[in-house]
Amino acid sequence: ARAFRMDNPLVDFGGAVYQPGEPVNLCYDTFGPPFAMVRGLFEYIYLADGLVLKPHIPTGISKLEQHFPVRFGSKQVYLAAAGNGPITAVTMNGQVWNDFGQNSINLPFAQTPATAVVSIGMGGNPPPSFTPRIPDASQPPAVELAKIPFLESLFPILSPNELPVRIGADSDGGSRFRGQIARARIYNRALTASEVVESSTAVRPASSQGLVADWRLDSTDGKVFENQAGQGLSARATGQVGLTNTLHGPAVVLAGNGFLEAANDPRFNLTNSCTLEAWICPQIQAQAGGRIIDKSKVGSSNGYLLDTYPGNSLRFITELGVLSYDAKLIPGVWAHIAATINQDGALALYLNGQQVAALHKEKTSNLASLDQRVAKIRQFRARLAEAGLTVSYEAAHARLALEYARVTERRFRLVDGGGLAKLPARSQVAADKSYLSTLSKLCEGLEKTLDSYREAKDAQRQQVWKLWRAE
């Protein structure tokens, strides 16, 4: 894993990671090479009446056990091998199997049992004794993640980070905004709709309550832009930043070769809610858009950002969710924009005082809801078993989610009870979050797949859909 840079192979041929500074760097592309290698240990030739197996096991491997089955129609084949060289002996489910040659093994479909354990002796070695770890077919027990107290704290609405706040560029200095910005504000709470309307019609903020930063983009030296909220947190120009006066007051002119930056400060690390607000006069933006207010690592959704992606649209990104609106911002025309997210997970985008997009995202850490989703999947899998569909894809996906839920709960109970040694704080949080996030995604993947069966013409999919919707 280290030699192949399985943490992340996408940058500089594995010489660097795609998201530096993040506690976990792993991408699914990473698993392609090892899976391809495992798949390449045997060649599988599927014929009309059977399967031909051809071992291609490197000489460095003297013993092999595959505890996962190879699908052969409705049947499953588990493989084990010992030695190297030509095939000299084979057993199936412990019984001698003679239908083989020096380089291949024949498995006629009619003679292969539903579960076939094929052990192969090579180079004069006897077939190895092999009992695959076949999963228990019974239903995993119910989980109760909501009863583990510390889990709720793992998923704040907004994730803190150590990045500065930038006006006009992303954390790598790219995605630069082109146009003028007259005012930029950050609140540590979600403004109400009426407050956004009031703020859009006046230069002064609608309220000082929760106002962390209010940059009136004027400067005596063209370099330092003071925070009018009076709490320090001044912004400094990087690169070429112009100044101008407009109907909306002083403004910076950004032509793609400069931006403003306010150093990281604990007051910028909002966790429960926020409002981002600005007066902008955009030019035509690149398709990749331009950052307006940004405190988020490129390639991730930590922190928060408000930008024009794609082109002259609007977008608001938090870890909880992404909200977009095709604003068709007119080049050379001033617009008041705002984005809010509250502690209940409600996101909103505003253009000139009007709400133009909204989204409510349930937190991954809504543990009671996650428990309910897992419970529904348990009931669904039981119905599949009653209908004789235990070997279906849907049943396999359901079982994966249920097994992972059980592993997740067991792990967290060990952590909560001191049964696992603590990692450094940042690593511990990242590891804990990855379990809940993965479980949520396993549930979501199955839910979306099953919802797509609603209008299916296939009879089995219609049957599965009805089992999923059954109470």
What is the β-pairing status of strands 178-187 and 235-239? unpaired
Q: Return d(Cα 264, Cα 425) in angstroms, integer.
A: 20
Contact 296, 302 (CB under 8 A): yes
Burial class for 220, CB neighbours closer than 10 Å (0-12, 13-18, 19+): exposed
| Spatial distance between the Cα atoms of 421 and 408, rounded to a whole number of angstroms | 16
Taking the chain (471 residues) in runs of 10, the rounded mean pLDDT of each run is 65 72 67 75 93 94 92 91 96 97 97 96 96 79 86 79 94 95 95 93 77 89 90 93 91 95 94 94 94 91 92 93 94 96 93 95 72 94 92 91 94 90 83 87 94 93 95 73
**Predicted pLDDT at 20:** 66
pLDDT of residue 21: 61
What pLDDT does 150 receive? 83
DSSP 225-250: E-BTTSSS--EEEEE--EEEEETTEE
Instruction: Quote the pLDDT of residue 363.
Output: 62
pLDDT given at position 11: 75
Answering whether pTM is above 0.85, one says no
**Owner of token pair 């909880």:** 320
The CA distances from residue 334 to 207, 363, 426, 467, in Å, are 22, 35, 42, 54
Query: Nearest Cα to 153, choosing from 416, 339, 406?
Result: 416
Would you state the pLDDT for residue 5?
Answer: 67
